[in-house]
Amino acid sequence: MDDKQVISEQQFREDVAAPPATSPNGAVHVESNGEVGKEAASFKHASNLEDGPAEHLSPEHKEYLISRHGTTDLSPLPSMDPADPLNWPSWKKNVNLFLVAFHAMMTTFTAAGVTPAFEQLSVEFGVSLTQASYFTSIQILLLGWSPAFWKPLSNRYGRRPIWLISTFGSMICNIGCAKTHSYGAQVVTRLLVAFFISPAIAISSAVVTETFFAKERGQKMGIWTLMVTLGPPTGPFIMGFVAYHTHTWTWIYWILAITNGVQFILYFFFSPETLYVRDRVQAPSTKSDFQRKYLNFGKIGPEPLSLRSFLTPIILFTYPNILIPAVAYSIVFNFASVLTTVEIPQIFAAKFGFNAQQLGLQYIGIIIGSVLGEIVGGRGSDFWMRRKSAQLGQSRHAPPEHRLWLSYPGFATVICGLVVFLVQAEKIHAYNVTPVVGMAIAAFGNQVITTVLVTYAVDCHHEHAASIGVFINIIRNTWGFIGPFWFPDMFKNLGLDGSAGLLVGIVAVCALLPMIFIHWKGASIREQRAAKALA
């Protein structure tokens, strides 16, 4: 890539750090049909990144990459600009990733954090325990759809302003939650909190793609997905102690508001802008690197906002390599995360008379299982892909489908864990730890599947990384919102052990089998799409 190459500044990309797709014969292509195809085409030009051989670089560019990274064997290839997020030092990338991943955790942490206080809330507002649980359910739904609003704004104005608005708005609304004393007002403030806190649960995938090279993508994407997974069990685990020892639900919201305030401060000082658009002409800038990274609050993405910008994630329903992993992951997440998180108070409080603190302790198994699962799904899948690439030679990369081999142990452990959890919860009459062990096994498999399938979808179409995050989030949270409404009837009609059989059947038929199909045919599906785009 010659550094004098002309790039149209009127073209837009969804996020940086993704190479263009290739046709079956290796030719670079972009899709030209449909709204998503237009976005992909403009992405290719505006990002100005290549996945091609380094010999096409200018001598100055090669020298810069070697001095900065020690090699030119990088995918994708960064520019020669220090403000390019791919050129940041590792510590800055990792600090920014931690802030964004923690923000993602706080989305689900906030939704599930009130779970141990359902009884206190039902007494306070004079409603049933089921009605109190809606404080969590309504947030799950809005967390799924709100990022579709924030994503186009972040593509136009950058990620950094969105993070600052998100944390500040969440802080104000959590204070509102603590100060309201009617059921209706509490519902409204909870909805506002979900709206403001939601961006990181989906847009984080774009930040990972913008700042890290392909060889790190599984591990770094896994950190984000792990934090999303840890939110539901960690919220009740911590807030169970808060509700029990303070004897009030309001301190849950005060702690959430304080946390949001700290996030705002950390974002302001330690989170530079990751949206980086390569302009047509590299004109000298009057701004310093610091100003460009931290104080650039104007328009960054060149394309104006339009209705199409907000509808792009929905169009991804036409991409089987994204849709099928998204549906499979959402089914597993709903059973191995949402079901266990929401139903623990219903099952354990009724059967064993647990208080808020004791209920919170039951989530330890989910936390441990999720962390262990990330080691396999993140670092393990990156090692798996690097090993395959080494076998193929330096000129070729492992196909995305090779990563899917690691999803099968995830499906097996999810099925095993759900059976152990529900059968043991039905069987025992005096409390023992076996249901928690089952939840830990299911959480392990859930995290493996989460990291592998989300990374696979991004690997297949990383020109749409931000929209993929939003799209997956919509499916996952909509399905997660519906689940708590039919779980109680399922348990009532089938019992816990009978429900285990139904859930296993759904996972096998609606998640595992479709992923086996996409593992088998995924490459040919991409090739057919590439050939159609080139026609």
Classify 60 as helix, strand or coil: helix
CATH code reported for the domain at 88-276+319-530: 1.20.1250.20
| pLDDT tens profile 108-164 | 999 999 988 988 999 999 998 878 888 998 999 999 999 989 988 998 888 999 999
Domain boundaries, given as residue ranges, for the chain: 1-79, 88-276+319-530
Q: Which residues contact 158 (CB under 8 A, 6 or more apart)?
A: 273, 274, 275, 296, 297, 300, 301
- Full DSSP string of 362-383: TTHHHHHHHHHHHIIIIIIHHH
Q: Return the percentage of the chain with pLDDT > 90, whole number.
A: 45
| pLDDT tens profile 377-430 | 877 877 887 787 777 776 567 888 888 999 999 999 999 999 999 999 999 888
Handedness of CA 434, 440, 446, 452 (dihedral sign): negative
Residue 250 has pLDDT above 80, yes or no: yes
Residue 341 has pLDDT above 90, yes or no: no
Residue 34 has pLDDT above 80, yes or no: no
pLDDT score recorded for residue 534:
66
Of 292 and 396, more confident: 396
User: pTM of this prediction?
Assistant: 0.77
pLDDT score recorded for residue 15:
38
Per 3-state DSSP, the chain is made up of helix, strand and coil in percentages (nearest 5) of 75, 0, 25
Reported in sequence order, the residue ranges of 130-282 that DSSP labels E, i.e. its strands, are none
| pLDDT tens profile 205-232 | 789 888 998 888 778 888 988 898 899 8
Residue 192 has pLDDT above 60, yes or no: yes
Q: Return the percentage of the chain with pLDDT > 70, whole number.
A: 83
Distance between CA 282 and CA 6 in Å, rounded? Answer: 10
Other beta carbons less than 10 A from residue 21's beta carbon:
21
Per the DSSP assignment, residues forming a β-bridge with 21 are 29
Q: Per mean pLDDT, which range of 248-252, 290-294, 341-345, 349-353 is the poorest?
A: 290-294
Confidence band of 453 (pLDDT split at 50, 70, 90):
very high
DSSP symbol at 77: P
Q: Per mean pLDDT, which range of 3-12, 31-40, 235-244, 257-266 is the poorest?
A: 3-12
